[in-house]
Structure 1
Amino acid sequence: MSLPRAQMQSLNGKRQNSQRMQQETSPTQHDDLIRYICESWNTVSRELENFSQNGADTNKGGPSVLYYVEQEPNPQLKDFEPFDLEAWWGKRVVQNITRTQSS
């Protein structure tokens, strides 16, 4: 199945981005995938929350999704330090801005 091809149009002498126009005119597979993941996650979250609030479900014997909690820390991860990607990107943006202003 192919999506309709966006036409390049001139608006006030400027060319429109064809990819943006294509996304505005028809839903993409990406949108469908995001919607599916969100709906699936919401279903799992509701089921787990209902099980936590109501206790054991007498019809099913429990939720079909279980939340895993490690009982003992993994010895291979004793020196693990989480990486803050958002802070790293923030520092990089500041460095790029500082570098371009000083040039």
Structure 2
Amino acid sequence: MTERTPEDFCGSTVHRTISLIGGKWTMLILWRLLEREHRYADLQRQVGDVSQKVLSAELKTLVQAGLVEREVNPTVPPQVTYRITPKGQSLDTVFTSLSRWGEAHLQE
């Protein structure tokens, strides 16, 4: 096996993928949205101790990346619903692999 250098990692698809989904809250947001669609406030409760500012920024990034879809319902006050896109749904195998790895290696 050849040795990998930091330069190999920085230009790799692994690096770009981690940059997109590797944030502190990003994977938890995606995990919840893989279960079902959520309104903003419900998603914030489900994710945990995330601030509104951070959650909004993470969701905006995920929408721009095409992983999440945002729908604004024209009510007063407006209700915003987030759902996973087919592109985001394709990450389900990643989460399944991470879960299996954790079960195998993170036993107490």
TM-score when scaled to structure 1? Answer: 0.26
Higher percent of residues as helix: 2
Higher percent of residues as strand: 2
More RCO (CA 8 Å, sep 6+) = 2
Based on CA coordinates, which of the two structures has the bigger radius of gyration?
1
TM-score when scaled to structure 2? Answer: 0.25
